[in-house]
Every structure is written in structure tokens, then in C-alpha cells.
Amino acid sequence: MAELITLARPYAKAAFEYARAAKDLQGWQTALAQAASVSMDASVKAMLSSPNLTSTDKGLKFGEVCGDVLNQQQVNFINVLAVNNRLGLLAQVYELFALYKANQEKTVDVEIQTAFEISSDLEQKLATTLKAKLDRDVELKTTIDESLIGGALIRAGDTVIDGSARGRLAKLAEAMNA
């Protein structure tokens, strides 16, 4: 996986720099999300791995499948990926682009898993606290996971805060077995 990210990085940076200069980060993110989704389709994967098509043909066919979602600059980007046999990296390119965009806009998506539903007041307090701690605007997404028993599990990018009863019990069991 790390190798794919390494291969995708220059393309994601190029797309991000172009989109930032054109002041169209959201448009490019939407287009890359659509292209990444298309690239994951089984029939598209088969077309991309076909030895009967040239890389240029693959780029053209891929652009046709995406339809009107892509503007001319985005189609050109897809063609560059095709010529370099990198259409299979679109998911990683999108992932990196979204990360660059979030860093640029100083935002972070935070997933909160709780054992029980939390009030909107508590959710607001969590958002305020996390915004101060992470120094970013926070977009919260809460889900209920009854297997946590109690407490919460918070994921913000690479940061994980495990305040769940299940997590604490697992740590206790680990300490007792050590």
C-alpha cells in the first residue's frame, strides 16, 4: 500500500497545485472522487488491464465512462495518468488530494463511535474541544457501536482516542497477562 501512495503522490500534488491555482479545489476533489469510484468498478478494472488497448485508448475510454463529470483539464489529467499507466492509482490520488485539501483548509473529519446516542450539547462540546486540541475546524460524524459497552472511540486522521470501556478492559487484560 505504501508503494502505491508513493507512486500516486506526484500526481496528487500536481492535481492539487493546479486546482489551488485555479481556485477549484472542491471541483477537483469531486471529479477525482468520481474517477476513483469509476476506477474501482470491475469492468473498468478489466478494461484497464486489457493488453489489447493502448494507454491512450484506455484514457479515452475512461474519460467516456466518467462522462460530463470531468472538465477538459481533468480529462487531460486522466490522459496523463493513462499514458503513464497510472489509472489504477486514482483511489490513492484522490485520497492524497483530499488530505492536501484538508490541510490547506485546516479541516479534519472526526469520527466518534459511542455506545449510546449522545446529546447535541455534548457533541458541540466535543467539537469545540477537538477544534482547540487539533487547531483545525472539525466536521463530526457520530455512530453508535454497542460493542463499546460505554465511553467513546474518537478518530481524527491518524489520531485515535480510545475512551471506551471495551478499550479500557482490553488494556487491563493486557496488563494482567504481561
Q: What is the chain's mean pLDDT, rounded?
A: 89
- Determine how many CB atoms are found less than 10 A away from the CB of residue 121: 8
Pick the CATH number of 2-102 from 1.10.260.40, 3.40.50.740, 1.10.520.20, 1.10.3720.10: 1.10.520.20
> d(Cα 166, Cα 15) in Å, to the nearest integer?
42
**139-178 pLDDT, tens per residue?**
899 999 888 888 888 898 778 888 888 888 888 888 888 7
Closest CA to 109 of 163, 37, 158, 146: 158
Domain boundaries, the chain: 2-102, 106-177
**40-75 pLDDT, tens per residue?**
999 888 888 888 889 888 888 888 888 788 899 999
Q: Is the pLDDT of residue 22 over 90?
A: yes
Closest CA to 25 of 98, 77, 75: 98
Closest CA to 93 of 152, 39, 172: 39
